[in-house]
Amino acid sequence: MKPRHLVFYLFFLTLLPGCNSLATVDNANHFRCDDCTIPRVYSGVSHIACLWSTNYKYRGLAVLDMPFSLVADTALLPYTIYTQVRYGNICNKKVESE
């Protein structure tokens, strides 16, 4: 492997960790829900579980992000507990009416 390829891969890997957590916390008001309930507490991990249950094209990458999102969600726990109590879930599963 050439050194410049190694630098590229290492740079790319630094962009991945915790991206689901950061996406859900940063864009909570404009987040796209896919018929899942996503609470604000551990929202990154919940979003990955939601992606895994759907036909998301890049499920493998989402699963690779799971441990990093778990760490990021734990670090953001004081903030997300506050926002969960104040604003509720990011997404609520849509209930089909009978």
- Beta-carbon contacts of residue 47 (< 8 Å; ≥ 6 apart): 20, 23, 24, 36, 38, 69
In this structure, what token pair is assigned to residue 16? 């991945």
Number of Cβ within 10 Å of residue 89's Cβ equals 17
Rounded to whole angstroms, the Cα distance separating 36 from 12 reads 29
pLDDT beyond 80 at 22 = no
pLDDT bin (cut points 50, 70, 90) of residue 97 is very low
What is the pTM assigned to this prediction? 0.70
